[in-house]
Amino acid sequence: MDGDTGRLAIDHLLGELTVEEKAALCSGSGFWHTRAVERLGVPAIAVSDGPHGLRVQRDGGDHLGIDSSDPATCFPPAVTLGSTWNVEMVRRVGEAIGVEARSAGLAVVLGPGVNIKRSPLCGRNFEYYSEDPLVASTMGTAWVDGLQSTGVGASLKHFAVNNQETDRLRVSADVDERTLREIYLAAFEPVVRDAQPWTVMCSYNRINGTYAASDRWLLTEVLREAWGFEGLVVSDWGAVDDPVASVAAGLDLEMPSSGGASAASIVAAVRDGSLDVADVDTAVRRVLQLVDHAPRTASAVAFDVDAHHAIARAAAGEGAVLLQNDGGVLPLRPAAGQRVAVIGELARTPRYQGAGSSQVNPTRVDDALRALEVAFGPEVDVRFAPGYRLDDEVTDSEAASLVAEAIATATDADAVVIFAGLPGPYESEGFDRVDLDLPACQLEVIDAIARLRSDATVVLANGGVVAVDAFASSVAAILECWLGGQASGTAVADLLSGAVNPSGKLTESIPHRLADTPARHNFPGEDRHVRYGEGLFVGYRHFDSAEVSVAFPFGHGLSYTTFAYSDLTVDVLDDGIDVALDEPVVEIAATVTNTGSVAGAEVVQVYVAPKDALVVRPVHELRAFAKVALAPGAAERVNFALTRRDLARWSVRAHDWVFDPGVYGIEVGASSRDLPLAETVTIPGAATAAPLDDYSSLGEWLAHPIGHDVLVEQLRSSPLGDLTPLLADEGTIKVISQFPLRRLIPMLGGSFTQDDLVQLVDRVNASG
């Protein structure tokens, strides 16, 4: 320890540690601690699961959530937080979790998860924010900022391309480079660059055949060298297949403990020269830096249980999405003496979080039935019928009796609310779903009540998207509450009673049926491989580009008020020639007005639509958003700035982001299919030319800003005479433009050789 600061003297320690001690530091001690080196004063630090609340296990512990954990606030999972589209709300939740982590003596909380919702069947979708990388990265950045503001580190996960639970420890996610960059890595990159999480957790799966835990390209070249990550890379629990290869690739800490086996392998590899001790030193340095960064003691102040419950309640209310509200049946405002029928066991026995490693032991749990009784007061008769059971252990006669009771309860009620959703065994870490359907017993109850009451409301509780076509046309309102955390019951009551105006928006499309989803035929794969055959066309990128009808589109969400959009302006700032990728080139402004009678919040969404793209691109992509709270009649001018990177695409040829000058549509509105404002602009600038090689086609040479002139010069000096007139012959060019230049050379004859072509390539690329 440094005597002046009380912190670790890392350079000194690296000189004092034995190879055996260094190797040991590259693995954890038990399930939740790093390894200490007592003789040198290196302490162990503690970590915990916790994307939506802590799971601190004091004795032993396990990764799957089987053993009990200390009470902690169960905040809404990412599926709900993402649907708030509220950066500040997500930051508040991250900060609250950080406060609880400090009080528990934790150094790192394992979250957030920013993996893309490639398929609605992924059993862990409740832990992820969106099908869109901008939403996922923006929310992930806010969560990390909030958490780390308390002096506790985040662990951004699961890096990368971890989009299913089926065979997750072995499956190879086979994905092309452009899709990888534009969709899957794009969810991680801004979080790393803007928030610098203390740790990044690598995923279980392989990526194009290589395990993430031993993928040097992923962990070192991309994460550190390209993105500038400064922290520690930790494995998912049990993700390391080859500890020696992992250390060489850039993995710093294997979790949990391997019982000394990994350390022994590392020591042996150093001894026989197959692993450079410098790689071990690099990993150990990062482990020591993490330990040094961590708080030494728990906070002396216990967290405010009630205040954190209130945050959970507010987040759950803001993350709920009002899918439909025919006839304005919501909010419910029953008068004294009226009766409200509450149908569905989930109203009494709430499902408020997902299952698996993120499962939280809550400080308390609110149920909607009791919360509605409190919200409506004693003068309103709230009557309940379970309608169904949450398990499958029910006879036909028992099921019929439950439905009959529900019908009787709803018959003379002044309002009817049906609670439905997915029971715990339907979705969890560890397995994927097989369909999008609600349990048949719930659909039977909804159908029976809807036949009786067309003004019924359905309230949903689920971590992944469920199909709604079976009842959407027969009920008046659908309120998608996702998994709302421990305060979900009171949050639902707030929404139904009108105490809170719904403002959530979908961060994933709700399809009519599973067959319409883009990954349908490539999920979850076979023979230890899953092919990402849909490429860029994930979620709304597929539905909107292919004009496939959906039940509810990405970005959709209603309110108890109404909003109007007007006065779009789009200003191109300059010619763009010398503008860097991260500098603004377009400024956008639009006015949104609350045209209703109650206060509300609207999410203004900006989509970019390339009109003359040089390569295949989605019809439009979300590139900016802002949530705006407005009083009745109030208006606000909302401003956005887009950079060239916002307009760019990944070039496989250049292995980099490239900007294509040209015509772009700017669309502004309330969802990917409700975009009342649109303007088309031409954005000039120098196109990013891909490097040429000897296999580049004649057409590519002629289209290249430097290659064109170099080639024309060569053709003019051909021993066969000036060949440039061939370039003016439209028919000839159409026939031969796709020929690689190296194939045309023999046809041209003369003294121009393959070696000359290589020199031309070098000359062009050096000039670029």
CATH number at residue 601: 2.60.40.10
Q: Tell me, what's the pLDDT at 12?
A: 95
d(CA 35, CA 47): 12
Identify whether residues 203 and 331 lie together within a single domain: no
DSSP codes, 455-514: T-EEEEE-SS----TTTTTTSSEEEE-----TTHHHHHHHHHHTSS------SS-EESSG
Mean pLDDT along residues 311-333: 98
| Predicted confidence (pLDDT) at residue 305 exceeds the cutoff of 70 | yes
What tokens does 132 get? 């869109």
Mean pLDDT along residues 376-392: 95
Closest C-alpha to 706, from 723, 684, 688:
688
Q: Which residues have a catalytic role annotated?
A: 236
Residue 655 located in a structural domain? yes
Q: What is the pLDDT of residues 636-653, one digit of tens each?
A: 999 999 999 999 999 998
Q: Tell me, what's the pLDDT at 497?
A: 98
Q: What is the distance of C-alpha 209 from the center of its chain?
A: 23
- DSSP class of 183: I
Q: Tell me, what's the pLDDT at 4?
A: 34
Domain count, the chain: 4
Q: Tell me, what's the pLDDT at 231?
A: 98
The enclosing domain of 511 has a CATH number of 3.40.50.1700
Q: Tell me, what's the pLDDT at 22?
A: 98
DSSP codes, 571-625: EE-S--TT--TTSEEEEEEEEEEE-SSS-EEEEEEEEEEESS-SS---S-EEEEE
Residue 544 located in a structural domain? no
3-state secondary structure of 188: coil
Identify whether residues 759 and 726 lie together within a single domain: yes
Mean pLDDT along residues 210-217: 98
Do residues 384 and 372 lie in contact, with contact meaning Cβ atoms separated by under 8 Å?
no
What tokens does 278 get? 């410098």
Do residues 519 and 100 lie in contact, with contact meaning Cβ atoms separated by under 8 Å?
no
Mean pLDDT along residues 404-429: 96
Residue 310 located in a structural domain? no
Supply the pTM of this predicted model.
0.94
d(CA 2, CA 12): 9
d(CA 278, CA 298): 34
Identify whether residues 239 and 354 lie together within a single domain: no
Q: Which domain holds residue 761?
A: 698-767
Mean pLDDT along residues 361-382: 97
Report the share of the chain in percent with pLDDT over 90: 81
| Predicted confidence (pLDDT) at residue 152 exceeds the cutoff of 50 | yes
Q: Tell me, what's the pLDDT at 3?
A: 34
How does the average pLDDT of the chain come out, rounded?
Answer: 93
Mean pLDDT along residues 50-69: 74
Q: How confident is residue 536, by pLDDT bands cut at 50, 70 and 90?
A: very high
Q: How confident is residue 301, by pLDDT bands cut at 50, 70 and 90?
A: confident
Q: Tell me, what's the pLDDT at 570?
A: 98
Q: Tell me, what's the pLDDT at 274?
A: 97
Instruction: Let me know how long the chain is.
Output: 768
Q: What is the pLDDT of residues 662-708, one digit of tens each?
A: 999 999 999 999 999 999 999 987 666 678 888 888 878 777 888 77
Closest C-alpha to 410, from 345, 341, 346, 344:
341
40-44, 100-104, 418-422, 741-745: which has the minimum mean pLDDT? Answer: 741-745
Residue 11 located in a structural domain? no
* Amino acid type, 84: T
The enclosing domain of 80 has a CATH number of 3.20.20.300
Identify whether residues 285 and 324 lie together within a single domain: no
**Which backbone phi and psi does 629 adopt, to 5 degrees?**
-95, 130
What tokens does 80 get? 């709900």
With both helix axes pointing from N to C terminus, report the angle between 440-452 and 396-411 in degrees, rounded to the nearest 10.
30
Residue 550 located in a structural domain? no
Identify whether residues 282 and 351 lie together within a single domain: no
* Amino acid type, 208: N
Identify whether residues 428 and 488 lie together within a single domain: yes
Q: What is the distance of C-alpha 337 from the center of its chain?
A: 47
CB atoms within 10 A of CB 558: 22
What tokens does 517 get? 């989803």
Identify whether residues 663 and 725 lie together within a single domain: no
Mean pLDDT along residues 560-585: 86
d(CA 444, CA 394): 14
Residues in a beta bridge with 339: 381
Do residues 162 and 203 lie in contact, with contact meaning Cβ atoms separated by under 8 Å?
yes
| Predicted confidence (pLDDT) at residue 747 exceeds the cutoff of 90 | no
- DSSP class of 157: E
Identify whether residues 110 and 54 lie together within a single domain: yes
Domain boundary among 656, 683, 710: 683
Buried b (16+ CB within 10 A) or exposed e, 411-447: eebebbbbbbbbbeebbbbebbbeebbbbebbbbbbe
Domain boundary among 504, 528, 552: 528
Do residues 410 and 367 lie in contact, with contact meaning Cβ atoms separated by under 8 Å?
no
Do residues 163 and 122 lie in contact, with contact meaning Cβ atoms separated by under 8 Å?
yes
What tokens does 63 get? 């990764």
Identify whether residues 365 and 426 lie together within a single domain: yes
3-state secondary structure of 104: coil
Q: Where are the alpha helices (DSSP H) in 462-576?
A: 488-497, 540-545
Mean pLDDT along residues 376-401: 93
Residue 735 located in a structural domain? yes
Mean pLDDT along residues 570-590: 83
Residue 743 located in a structural domain? yes
274-278, 390-394, 602-606, 741-745: which has the minimum mean pLDDT? Answer: 741-745
Identify whether residues 335 and 271 lie together within a single domain: no
| Predicted confidence (pLDDT) at residue 194 exceeds the cutoff of 80 | yes
Residue 492 located in a structural domain? yes
Identify whether residues 482 and 610 lie together within a single domain: no
Which residues, in sequence order, are CB contacts of 743 under 8 Å at separation 6+?
Answer: none
Residues 447, 457, 84, 364, CA torsion sign: negative
Identify whether residues 354 and 275 lie together within a single domain: no
What tokens does 285 get? 């340095």
Q: How confident is residue 2, by pLDDT bands cut at 50, 70 and 90?
A: very low
Do residues 294 and 8 lie in contact, with contact meaning Cβ atoms separated by under 8 Å?
no
| Predicted confidence (pLDDT) at residue 739 exceeds the cutoff of 80 | yes
| Predicted confidence (pLDDT) at residue 118 exceeds the cutoff of 50 | yes
Half-sphere exposure of 533 (CA within 13 A, CB side): 12
